[in-house]
Amino acid sequence: MLTIPEKIAFLLLLLASFYFGGGALYRVYRAIRRGQPEDRFDRLPARLGRALWQTLTMQTVFKKRPWVSLLHAFVFYGFVFYLSVNLVDVLEGFFPFKARGGFWNGYNLVADLLTALILLGIVGLMIRRFSALGRKTFSWNEKTPLHEKVRQGIPRDSAIVAGFIFFHVGSRLLHKAAQAANLEHGPDPYQPVAWWASALFMGVDVDQIVILEHLFWWFALGSILLFIPYFARSKHIHLFLAPLNLAFKKEKPGALTPIAPDFEALEKMEKFGVARLEDFTWPRLLDAYSCIMCNRCQEVCPAYTTGKALSPSAILINERYELNRILPDFAAGRESPRPLLAFALNSESLWACTTCNACVEVCPVGNEPMLHILDVRREQVMMQGVFPAQLNNAFKGMERNGNPWNLGADKRLAWAEGLGFEVPTVEQNPEAEVLYWVGCAPAYDPRAQKTARAFAEILQASGLRWAVLGKREKCTGDAARRAGNEFLFMQLAAENVETLNAAMQARPKTIVTTCPHCFHTLANEYKDFGGHYQVKHHTEFIAELIGARKLELLPMKGEVTYHDPCYLGRHNGVFAPPRAVLQAAGLKLHEPVRHGPNSFCCGAGGAQFWKEEEPGQERVSTNRYRELKGTGASTIAVGCPFCMQMMNLETAQEPEGQAPQVLDISELVVQNLKRRPSDAAAD
């Protein structure tokens, strides 16, 4: 038990620690509150329950780096238990009792073993962080914009946090070891690690052991009180904020939130997008403080992987260091001193993002770096009028002719010419069960038109009543929105929703589309504009038709690899149906190393298809194609017209006869579709 002077000193230190540490945390809270409002409080009990489960199971951490995640788990679970350990140690210091015997035996055993695991985990993490491999993992290429304090700040912060954990837990172990060496208490068999460590004090007399007990108690608990004021500035703050970030994460981060509910509200707005920290909504600022700086998002980013300036982790880390630099003033409500493009990212990194959602999916603490980028794009396009020149043609095409190809609406049904049957429009078949949303690429691009024709044949063979919008269909606006042109997107969305709602009046229809970008926008984003539809991707729909025996396939032979489109897979979780179709066709599937949720982008998303790719070591599509070709499959199956184009861009570079063929899944199905007698007669 502590002496009276020690108790007084501890209480004074406790008050000082809570005063300075509490003040720092309160400033962080006020800084996050500076963010603009955003409703993330729906289904609050479910959100909190999900976050608690994800935190305690560490399922988001174990998505990648299993051995490193295991070391982190040792530290995490140890520190969760150490909340009670430290409290009991304080009580032992202030009151005349020892936590031994009975209930305390199990408690002491768990605490003792976790002490060893924490030390093992933190030593392993320190070795990794400061080894050559770690320095490579936790670094950036020379093109990536970095805050002036990052390069020195991160190693320093890592050393302080790791040093604190090692010192705190190590001191607690030595405190218990000194107790075990004290003949007054004797060794405790339920603290085997401390018992083993007590050998360090063999031959030390009783009076000195008592002094050591007190000294290590102070080291263990005093170090916490000294660390608390620094806590808010360190990455260790993620212990508190990461669970909150997981709770308030969007269900579909890629389903963007409108900047205004309608055009009337939009016209009254004086500011669009984000130029400075205070322009972000509060979840974006929470992202910056939740970031653990692990660079997992950077590892999976298509732009960074191919040598470009963009690093999702660098953006959040830069924001965090700037917030720490200006925290007192920012928390007090003063304007931040410089725009984001001066310290968080630059124009090159801003426009390199493919919006593939990989950074969001992999983040262990629920950060959404992609949304930071899109917020800044909105400001650049709608406030500054600054964007890659090539996008101007796509914008004009969508505005004037309802498609980024800038071709007339009279060409919308050109893809259907030469089919052995008439493609019905909604006017001709208002009672149709299925509305095929063709999309701009299948309507206007010669290669993608083959996909539209193949899927039309599948619909015809299924016996279902179906129709298309024909000339009334316009671009969904996906590319405009991802490029930051929210006004143009809202214009297209409003027109399409009006058209679709009118088409649904005679009979509600299932909308099916061969483009994942159209699928995502229609299903997830048109809800905000009054468009509530049942939308399916054509691979899902084909799988259902096969399952219902409305389609029958002849056995096929061959080997195929499947490329998961980002907007179908990661954004919407559709992984099994395309593979089910390939399996039903009898094809042997060879998965690339990166597939499913870990798939790699083709490079076309985020409006990249309509502009030149930023300079790097290679094109994103080249990186992906090399992996797909490496499976040895003779066919690359895709489910997206833009993925099709990007892969064909790569096959065109190959010597004749050496490249795998690239086919949409619908084309593979049509090749081996078992025709009904009526269909054959029609042909």
pLDDT of 367-405, one tens digit each? 999 999 999 999 999 999 999 999 999 999 999 999 999
Distance, in Å, from the CA atom of 371 to the CA atom of 338, rounded to the nearest integer, reads 20
Distance, in Å, from the CA atom of 178 to the CA atom of 98, rounded to the nearest integer, reads 14
Q: Are 108 and 189 within 8 A, CB to CB?
A: no
Q: Are 493 and 454 within 8 A, CB to CB?
A: no
H/E segment holding residue 375: helix 369-379
Query: Three-state SS for 664?
Result: strand
Over 60: is that where the pLDDT of 678 sits? no
Give Rg (Cα) of the chain. 30
Q: Are 595 and 564 within 8 A, CB to CB?
A: yes
For residues 613-627, b (16+ Cβ closer than 10 Å) or e, as one string? bbebeebbbbbbbeb
What local confidence, expressed as pLDDT, does residue 97 receive?
82
Over 90: is that where the pLDDT of 132 sits? no
At residue 511, φ and ψ (nearest 5 deg) are -90, 130
Q: What's the rounded mean pLDDT across residues 201-220?
A: 89
Q: What's 399's DSSP letter?
A: H
At residue 238, φ and ψ (nearest 5 deg) are -60, -20
Distance, in Å, from the CA atom of 537 to the CA atom of 515, rounded to the nearest integer, reads 7
Q: Are 315 and 372 within 8 A, CB to CB?
A: yes
Distance, in Å, from the CA atom of 514 to the CA atom of 116, rounded to the nearest integer, reads 55
Give the CB-side neighbour count of residue 492, counting CA atoms within 13 A.
Answer: 29
H/E segment holding residue 661: strand 661-664
Structure confidence at residue 683 as a pLDDT band (50, 70, 90): very low
Q: Are 365 and 245 within 8 A, CB to CB?
A: yes
What local confidence, expressed as pLDDT, does residue 328 receive?
96
Distance, in Å, from the CA atom of 458 to the CA atom of 98, rounded to the nearest integer, reads 76
Residues 6+ apart with CB under 8 A from 251: none
Question: What is each CA distance from 158 to 128, 130, 131, in whole angstroms?
Answer: 11, 9, 13
What local confidence, expressed as pLDDT, does residue 681 receive?
42
Distance, in Å, from the CA atom of 171 to the CA atom of 220, rounded to the nearest integer, reads 5
What local confidence, expressed as pLDDT, does residue 679 receive?
55
At residue 171, φ and ψ (nearest 5 deg) are -65, -40
Q: State the burial class of residue 264 (Cβ atoms within 10 Å of its Cβ: 0-12, 13-18, 19+).
A: exposed
Query: Three-state SS for 662?
Result: strand
Q: Are 429 and 646 within 8 A, CB to CB?
A: no
For residues 462-472, b (16+ Cβ closer than 10 Å) or e, as one string? bebebbbbbeb
Over 60: is that where the pLDDT of 335 sits? yes
pLDDT tens digit sequence for 48-79:
999 999 999 999 999 999 999 999 999 999 99
What local confidence, expressed as pLDDT, does residue 680 receive?
46
Q: What's 485's DSSP letter?
A: -
Structure confidence at residue 183 as a pLDDT band (50, 70, 90): low
pLDDT tens digit sequence for 220-255:
999 999 999 999 999 899 999 999 999 999 989 999
End-to-end Cα separation, the chain, in angstroms: 94
Over 80: is that where the pLDDT of 579 sits? yes
**pLDDT over 70 percentage in the chain:** 98
Over 80: is that where the pLDDT of 673 sits? yes
pLDDT tens digit sequence for 142-165:
999 999 999 999 999 999 999 999
What local confidence, expressed as pLDDT, does residue 572 receive?
97
Closest C-alpha among 606, 592, 604 to residue 641 = 604
Q: State the burial class of residue 155 (Cβ atoms within 10 Å of its Cβ: 0-12, 13-18, 19+).
A: middle
Please calculate the CA angle 163-165-170 and round it to the nearest 5 degrees.
95
Distance of CA 187 to the CA centre of its chain: 50
Mean of all residue pLDDT scores within the chain = 94
More confident residue, 135 or 403: 403
